[in-house]
Amino acid sequence: MSYNKAALFAGCAADAARARLPGAPPIRGDQDPVLRTCLEFKFDQLRKFANISSYAELFFPERIAPCEQSTHLPEVEKALPPYDFLELSEPRIYDLERYVDCVMTAPVSPAAPEAR
């Protein structure tokens, strides 16, 4: 969770920096509307991810591994390697919105054979 939270914060900070005009005076993070809006949205996704992960572990454990695999973002991990103090054996960053959708969507079952 902390690794994904740090990655979300870094992404929002980069978005806010890109949105600023070149040469604009510095602005505090808590006064930057782009940063604040992005963080509110992303941290809401993180809360949903945490809640849905706990729910899925209990009710849909078979969905977790496929959803983790399909929403894993290794390119982001390469750009944002975790700090050593996090001591993660297998650090993972996920597309949280897609993960929540994946875990909450029942797998498509084959259609029942039609009655003759």
Per-residue DSSP letter, 115: P
Is the pLDDT at 108 greater than 80? The verdict is no
- Position 74 scores a pLDDT of 93
CB burial of residue 82 (10 Å; 0-12, 13-18, 19+)? middle
Residue 112: predicted pLDDT: 41
With contact defined as beta carbons under 8 Å apart, do 41 and 3 qualify?
A: no
Domain boundaries defined on the chain: 2-104
Report DSSP state, residue 72.
Answer: B
Across the range 77-95, mean pLDDT stands at 84
- Whole-number pLDDT of residue 110: 45
- Residues 32-48, mean pLDDT to the nearest whole number: 95
The mean per-residue pLDDT over the stretch 77-102 comes to 86
